[in-house]
């Protein structure tokens, strides 16, 4: 959570968090509490536990957007890794690479960032994903 640039209300983090607490019941999400800490950039990071933390975090982020959307920018960080895909055919597109990896990984293709496919030394193409 970061305070929104160009927001009509000049809110401090404490005010935004107070508004969120008054608008949202953590029990609706099956939570007793969330761990709030300050990230390296100075924004607030809410850590969600439980048996399905990803799903709970998505639902909580949506509720936060509804509750304090004009006061703060709400995003949900996700874990990512960089890997190189090699042996790609000349006809393969970055969209096809993203779609195939997304189907294997069980995530939407829009969550994939595929770099340009470049010729490799051992033939075929390679791309950073």
Q: What is the DSSP letter of 42?
A: S
Q: What is the pLDDT of residue 75?
A: 83
pLDDT exceeds 60 at position 4: no
Contact yes or no for 127/88 (Cβ under 8 A): yes
- Domain ranges across the chain: 2-73, 84-128
Residue 94 confidence (pLDDT): 93
For residues 24 and 109, what is the distance between their CA atoms, to the nearest angstrom?
31
pLDDT in tens, 23-36: 898 888 888 888 98
Residue 8 DSSP one-character state: S
Mean pLDDT along residues 107-129: 87
Contact (Cβ atoms closer than 8 angstroms) between residue 67 and residue 59: no
How many CB atoms within 10 Å of residue 53? 13
* Contact in structure between 118 and 127 (CB atoms under 8 Å): yes
Q: How many CB atoms lie within 10 A of CB 19?
A: 17
């Amino acid at each position: 959570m970061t305070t929104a640039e160009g927001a009509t209300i000049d809110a401090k983090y404490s005010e935004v968090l107070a508004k969120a607490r008054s608008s949202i019941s953590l029990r609706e999400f099956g939570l007793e509490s969330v761990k709030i800490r300050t990230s390296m950039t100075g924004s607030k990071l809410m850590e969600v536990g439980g048996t399905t933390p990803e799903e709970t975090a998505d639902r909580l982020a949506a509720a936060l957007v509804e509750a304090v959307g004009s006061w703060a920018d709400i995003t949900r960080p996700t874990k990512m890794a960089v890997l190189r895909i090699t042996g790609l055919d000349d006809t393969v597109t970055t969209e096809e690479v993203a779609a195939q990896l997304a189907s294997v990984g069980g995530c939407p293709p829009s969550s994939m960032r595929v770099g340009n496919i470049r010729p490799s030394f051992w033939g075929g193409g390679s791309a950073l994903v």
